Amino acid sequence: MKAWLMHGWGEPEEMIWSDVLVPVPSAGQIRIKVMAAALNFFDVLQVQGKYQVKPPFPFTPGAEVSGIVDAVGDGVPNWALGTRVIALPAGGSFAEYCIAPSTKVLPMPDAMDFGIAAALPIVYQTSLFALESRAKLQEGEWLLVHAGASGVGMSAIQLGRAMGAQVIATASTEAKRNFALEQGAQFVLDYTNASWVDEVKKLTGNRGADVIYDPVGGDIFDLSNKCIAPFGRHLVIGFASGRIPTLAANRALLKNMSLVGVFWGGHLVNNPDYPAQAHAALMRMYAQGKIMPVVGSSGPLNEVPRMLRDLANRSVLGKAVAYV
């Protein structure tokens, strides 16, 4: 089979399109014939050696797929060969076949497109965990979503609206702000202009945002804490800006605010049933038309390096998906 391999830290263009053996599932594992593999910003970081998970070389990146059950290991119940599934492999998805633990293989609706299916699990489960479990977002609260045209931003906007929040999104270009509006944001702001802080205050009647969804970090983190509401929750999703910020403790004191970490992957380590539980909730919302992943960039599997570069350049609206 064909797979993308990294033999050392580098850039997406240094990945090698290689012939490798088809993997064999061990006990508790499922082999999936990949139909579509979604790309994430952390894939770029992992290729560069900047991500917290550093697999041994050579390795195949990629962490979410849709496809067909091709083989099962010992002790795997309920999965018949040929079943359409969504899966969260621990790497290895930029390949024609991949292995995933059975606890992270999820049912896929018969009518769902493989690309839509691959684009759904990571960003939507991350945002559901963030907004429901970590922020306890309430109906009528103000939700500020940064990077509103990204995959996680898209999912946060849609889920925030589904949960009854009033949503403000920020993005750097007019096209991205229009995209955020299409996802359900009621207001959009340009975060390249620092006046967005005052605009958030105006929109919220000088109260500020009750929940801030922040996958950017850096200066955006610093400015966000100037427009957070009393008892607000600032969700730390990631650091796409490249700078990990800090918070002066007196600001948390004076605002009665909470700085809340969101490490969905870490949560799964101690809660292996969470993917199935979250997926069931997301499928209900999908069936009701409340959420719908947008695949803004796509191509064949052999174009993964190009698509990763587009992600690194922040030129993708929604999700990027490679088809096999």
182 and 153 co-located in one domain: yes
Which residues form the domain of 134? 123-265
Domain annotation covers residue 199: yes
At 144-183, the pLDDT tens digits run 999 999 999 999 999 999 999 999 999 999 999 999 999 9
236 and 156 co-located in one domain: yes
Number of domains within the chain: 2
**What is the reported pLDDT for 3?**
98
Strands 319-323 and 29-39: antiparallel
Give residue 140's pLDDT band: very low, low, confident or very high (50, 70, 90): very high
305 and 185 co-located in one domain: no
Give the 3-state secondary structure of residue 65.
strand
Strands 65-72 and 84-87: antiparallel
Give the 3-state secondary structure of residue 80.
coil
Is residue 251's pLDDT more than 90? no
- Which amino acid is present at 71? A
202 and 157 co-located in one domain: yes
131 and 61 co-located in one domain: no
pTM, to two decimals = 0.94
At 92-109, the pLDDT tens digits run 999 999 999 999 999 999
Domain annotation covers residue 279: no
Domain annotation covers residue 153: yes
Please report how the helices 121-128 and 274-287 are oriented relative to each other, as an axis angle in degrees rounded to 10: 100
Domain annotation covers residue 282: no
97 and 137 co-located in one domain: no
110 and 233 co-located in one domain: no
Domain annotation covers residue 281: no
141 and 216 co-located in one domain: yes
